[in-house]
Amino acid sequence: MVSYTRHMSLSTGTTDPCIFCDSEFRIDVEEELEHARNKFPGTQYVLAALTEEVGELAQAMLKVEAGKWSADRIWEEAVQVAAMAQRVAVEGDTSFDGDYTEPD
Tell me if 101 is assigned to some domain.
no
Residues 6+ apart with CB under 8 A from 17: 9
Integer Cα distance of 80 and 40 in angstroms: 13
What pTM, to 2 d.p., does this model score? 0.79
Write down the pLDDT at residue 96.
80
Tell me if 100 is assigned to some domain.
no
- The tally of domains found in the chain comes to 1
Please identify every stretch of the chain with a pLDDT value under 50, giving residue numbers as ranges.
1-12
Tell me if 102 is assigned to some domain.
no
Write down the pLDDT at residue 8.
43
Domain that holds residue 24: 4-91
Tell me if 66 is assigned to some domain.
yes
Tell me if 25 is assigned to some domain.
yes
